[in-house]
Structure 1
Amino acid sequence: MTDKVTKTDAEWRAQLSDLAYKVTRKHGTERAFTNDNFPKSAGTFSCICCNAALFDAGTKFDSGTGWPSFYAPMSPEAVIEKEDNGFFMRRTEILCSKCDAHLGHVFPDGPQPTGLRYCMNGVALTFDEDGKA
């Protein structure tokens, strides 16, 4: 992974929509079924904050949760896992390893081959269709 991307709070606010800022920089969550409108074609899902490649479209699946779900990141180095004990729950938070943006959480109820469900906030991701970037 390349050097960390760091910006001031004012720079993040200027770059991101209000919801993207709330989710990625303040560890918020978007409402279910509001931001999973990405194409089903081949491509790459990247961080809205720093454009780091995070998930291959081939690992996306319909979890029925209302958030984009993947069974694996592009590489183990693409994301950081952090223990999250907020809201009286024990979860594993997923952050972008390049800019520390909050992306969502990972759960052990996904499909094979990993059995994991990376449940991401759609507003935290951008999509680049293969051949269109």
Structure 2
Amino acid sequence: ASQSSAQSVHDFTVKDAKGNDVDLSIYKGKVLLIVNVASQCGLTDSNYTELTQLYAKYKDQGLEILAFPCNQFGSQEPGSSEEIVEFACTRFKAEYPIFDKVEVNGNNAAPIYKYLKSSKGGLFGDNIKWNFSKFLVDKEGKVVDRYA
């Protein structure tokens, strides 16, 4: 879906870390926390630890965390998708999906991120400011909140 025609997050298809298409409509009925992640950020340890704890606590109640690696902030996610997944799963026991690396700002921003930002602008406009910005999406695929 293009950003303009999209009615919800469920209208988008994204790439997983292996380059396969993932139709986000598979998450209908789930609450989503969508996060741009990085492996070499000062916020990495605390955020990945908290995401893993959140997922363990709420996955049985229908929470899914969708992690999108991004290298736009201080080049803190330089690795390949394979390296990123291995890092998150080995070091932080991440059990939630980690997708292919995306851009979240600028003309080449992934369509899903253009939609998220247009749905819930941040304090300083639409642009994502740094790693680990989070969007909370309801079971119908609507963006309900944004956290730094």
Range class of TM-score, shorter chain: under 0.3
Bigger fraction of residues in strand: 1
State TM-score, norm by structure 2. Answer: 0.25
State TM-score, norm by structure 1. Answer: 0.27
Bigger fraction of residues in helix: 2
Using CA pairs below 8 Å that are at least 6 residues apart, which structure has the higher relative contact order?
2
